[in-house]
Amino acid sequence: MEKNKPEVILWDLSDLYSNPADPQIAADSEWLKRRISDFSSYRGKVAELGPEQLLEAVRMLEEIYERAEKLLAYAYLEFSTRTLDAGASAFFQSMKEFSSQIRRDTLFFRLEWTKIEDGPAEALTKSAALSKYAHYLASLRRYRPHLLSEPEERILAEKSPAGSSAWEALFDKMLGRLRFGEKEKSQSEVLAGLYSADREERKGAAAELSDGLQTLLLPLTHIFNTVLLDKSIDDRLREYPHWLSSRNLDNEIGDATVSALVSAVCSRYDLVERYYFLKKKLLGYDELFDYDRYAPVCTQTGEGISWEDAREIVLTSFEDFSFEAAKIARLFFEKQWIHASLLPGKRSGAYSHPLIPSAHPYVFLNFTGSRRDVMTLAHELGHAVHQYLARKQGLFNCNTPLTTAESASVFAETLVFRSLLKRTDSKEERLGLICSRIEDTFATVFRQVAMHRFEERVHNARRTRGELDQEFIGSAWMQTQAAMFGNSVRLLDHYKTWWSYIPHFVHSPGYVYAYAFGQLMTAALYEQYLREGPDFVPAYLEFLESGGKAEPCELLRPLGVDPTDGGFWERGLKIVEGLIDEAEEEASL
């Protein structure tokens, strides 16, 4: 029983290495050096390779990258839970530097492959021998217009550990060290206070968060500016037409599709305003402030969920959908592939790291016992099941673009929400669950698009105005956030600093629209599941197993989903509107 308490839910990384001093780490590093030396025999010869020879080269490269990713991933997992530990930090940095050397010494393959004329390259990718790697090889060629000469690419690879990634690590260290309020809460703990049923506690948590961020605002602003500048230089050197081009290329999605998504979501900001006017009535307030956004409508659905109960809720919901999905998810609990404890120096947030096909994913979260944490657990286990199933595709085909990567996680959340709703008889609790789901959906769709618009504004401004001061960034943040709420929520002055703790802005510029993409796409998938019932499950699991072996639209087609359809996003938003209809019906208002 003791090990099921959240304070001792720690992962076991021994499937990778026993500890950072494990002799196997040095052995794997030496193996990589020898293997890269062998791989260098292909230098200058890629254009001359036939299908079988090219297959041999790709397999060797995949083997090299998988071993290198194992080292880097292990170092990152260690650092995530010990950002204040000098040893963990140094180990992570050393692995990043080693990884950059590997990219430097193998990038010739990518450059030589993309220089081959389209006709011969297409003939190779269509050969039977290379069928498994056809999409991978074709995907490399998408970057052809944006690749530099080998000497230039080698310099960029060599310097990368001292670029944005170094500032990302500093960002994590600073926020990992930061404590909030007199009780010296961690970031995860103070953010949990914004979901309290007590308005004074929420107000206090907002003040503590703001005061804490204010103490670091100068260096956080500098970090953000440096990341913006680094990306602008990279985009300019690679001749990307706009700040989001590289992200869209990574996501295998067209600019027009992303623009249609953002426009569709912004055109329905009225749904946000409509819901928060309803919430104001339900709470009996004259005015809603920023710290009231996540106030539970029903306190019984709010806090105090044990780790055991969270586990049971999620696994039961998965099992009701698919026994296989539940069986995989259960492994993460039984084999200690989850880190859920709140620890000093542990970074905030949550993720599921896919790791490598020869191993398995690991799930990271900060569990405080809230209903939202249960949904986060479901979200990350949705990712984990996806990543686990996709391992069979191999390293070069298992990883999915961010847009489809978010589908499995949001689908898992939906399963848990609908399962909880079915088991709830109380009208008050049903209303509380529906409202919580609406707010989670808003956070995934409308808030992420508002944050995307903020990013767009600051990235473009950094390229034309130079370094951005705190006032400009804070103003851009307030304006893009306020547009979403309309007149329904009043954002206080302290809110203007809250951009500074969002990790995606530093770690993954341009990432956030993928959440909205995944949420609306998953709404369509879930509607398809309701229509087809159990017949939908095998096709859905096959989609997850496919990983990234083909373009997203091709993989989604058998499920009846087409994100390029002009009315696709509007249909997804109608499903979101249906949730608000449900809330109003339950509230009888």
Judge contact between 552 and 138, C-beta under 8 A.
Answer: no
pLDDT at residue 270, rounded to an integer = 97
Q: What is the pTM of this model?
A: 0.86
pLDDT cut 70: percent of the chain above it: 98
Asked if the model's pLDDT at residue 283 lies above 80, the reply is yes
Q: Provide mean pLDDT across the span 487-506.
A: 96
Q: Is residue 62 part of a domain?
A: yes
Q: Provide mean pLDDT across the span 470-493.
A: 97
Q: Is residue 28 part of a domain?
A: yes
Query: What would the pLDDT profile of 20-43 be if each residue is shown by its tens digit?
Result: 999 999 999 999 999 999 999 999
Instruction: Write the CATH number for 65.
Output: 1.20.140.70
Asked if the model's pLDDT at residue 219 lies above 70, the reply is yes
pLDDT at residue 423, rounded to an integer = 80
Asked if the model's pLDDT at residue 5 lies above 60, the reply is no
Asked if the model's pLDDT at residue 6 lies above 70, the reply is no
Q: Is residue 89 part of a domain?
A: yes
Of 257-271, 523-537, 562-576, minimum mean pLDDT range: 562-576
Judge contact between 249 and 142, C-beta under 8 A.
Answer: yes
How does residue 1 score in pLDDT terms, banded at 50, 70 and 90?
A: very low
Q: Is residue 17 part of a domain?
A: yes
pLDDT at residue 266, rounded to an integer = 97
Tokens of 327: 């069986």
3-state percent helix, strand, coil for the chain, nearest multiple of 5? 75, 0, 25
pLDDT at residue 7, rounded to an integer = 62
What are residue 363's DSSP bridge partners? Answer: 338, 352
Asked if the model's pLDDT at residue 445 lies above 80, the reply is yes
Q: Is residue 139 part of a domain?
A: yes
Judge contact between 283 and 292, C-beta under 8 A.
Answer: yes
Identify the three-state secondary structure at position 338. strand
CA–CA dist 388, 357 (Å, integer): 8
Asked if the model's pLDDT at residue 79 lies above 80, the reply is yes
Q: Is residue 119 part of a domain?
A: yes
Q: Provide mean pLDDT across the span 455-472.
A: 97
pLDDT at residue 295, rounded to an integer = 93
Q: Provide mean pLDDT across the span 286-302.
A: 85
Q: Provide mean pLDDT across the span 192-205.
A: 94
pLDDT at residue 424, rounded to an integer = 81
Q: 27 lies in which domain range?
A: 11-162
pLDDT, the chain, mean: 93
Q: Provide mean pLDDT across the span 123-148.
A: 95
Asked if the model's pLDDT at residue 235 lies above 90, the reply is yes
Domain tally, the chain: 1
Q: Is residue 80 part of a domain?
A: yes
Judge contact between 328 and 389, C-beta under 8 A.
Answer: yes
Asked if the model's pLDDT at residue 181 lies above 80, the reply is yes
Query: What would the pLDDT profile of 365-394 be if each residue is shown by its tens digit?
Result: 999 888 889 999 999 999 999 999 999 999
* Dihedral angle sign, alpha carbons of residues 95, 100, 106, 110: positive
- DSSP per residue over 354-402, as a string? ---TTS--EEE----S-HHHHHHHHHHHHHHHHHHHHGGG-HHHHPPPH
How does residue 340 score in pLDDT terms, banded at 50, 70 and 90?
A: very high
The residue that leads in pLDDT, 315 or 422, is: 315
pLDDT at residue 588, rounded to an integer = 78
Q: Is residue 152 part of a domain?
A: yes
Asked if the model's pLDDT at residue 300 lies above 70, the reply is no
Identify the three-state secondary structure at position 491. coil
